Amino acid sequence: MTGPVLILGARSDIARAIARAFAAEGHPIQLAARHAENLGTDRDDLQTRYGVEVSLHDFDALEVRQHEAFVDGLPVLPEIVVSAIGVLGDQTENEDDVEAALGVIRANFEGPALILGVLANRFATRGSGTIVGISSVAGDRGRASNYVYGSAKAGFTAFLSGLRNRLARQGVHVVTVQPGFVNTAMTAGMDTPGALTAEPSEVGEAIVNAVKKGRNVIYVRRIWWLVMSIICAIPEAIFKKTSI
């Protein structure tokens, strides 16, 4: 397990933790993000700390017509790809601003799904590889507090499930990651319960372990499986009267 790992959306706190977790296992790292040249400090830290090769690649998930060219431009096709692409957005703004809602939907579903689709085809042709998509527990059931973001993540979760089913007999494994709350810049200012809030390093370690063990769907903190099972079991007639 030392093939190259491509991190899409490499600028986030979670992505940085994932890169460190894989680098600690000896994997070469490909960091992909917009304005990737600004990730020089991350590259240098990974190379110095873990002694692995790290390359930077400019990538915009929303430039979907450039996805094929992006993959063609990589120095080597990765063995593992992790999509850490996504934005939370603001539900109230999304309700009133079509462009804001579109941005959230595209960043959490369209862009990640389409780039992983391109890589899935390449992996299938090669007959090996692992695809990791970071989705969200918000996609397990639509809730008034974040249904635009949640619906995009629900679509991404369904996409990953279908991809896993399609590729299961072609030597390619697909992992769906449901982090729940994570202590990052994205959740800064939110009142997140400690028992439900993971650190970025936990996400990185959980993903490395899921890849090693061939897991299909993981909740970074297992309590989220119970929480979402309860929420999903609430009858609709009752659920629509809640404000969660």
Residues with catalytic roles: 149
What is the distance between the alpha carbons of residues 80 and 177, in angstroms, rounded to a whole number? 14
Task: Decide: residue 239, CB within 10 A, 0-12 exposed, 13-18 middle, 19+ buried.
Answer: middle
Give which of 82, 68, 66 is closest to 16, Cα–Cα: 82
Write the CB contacts of 163 (distance below 8 Å, at least 6 apart in sequence). 116, 117, 120, 131, 174
Strands (E), the chain: 5-8, 29-33, 54-58, 80-83, 129-134, 172-178, 181-182, 197-198, 217-219
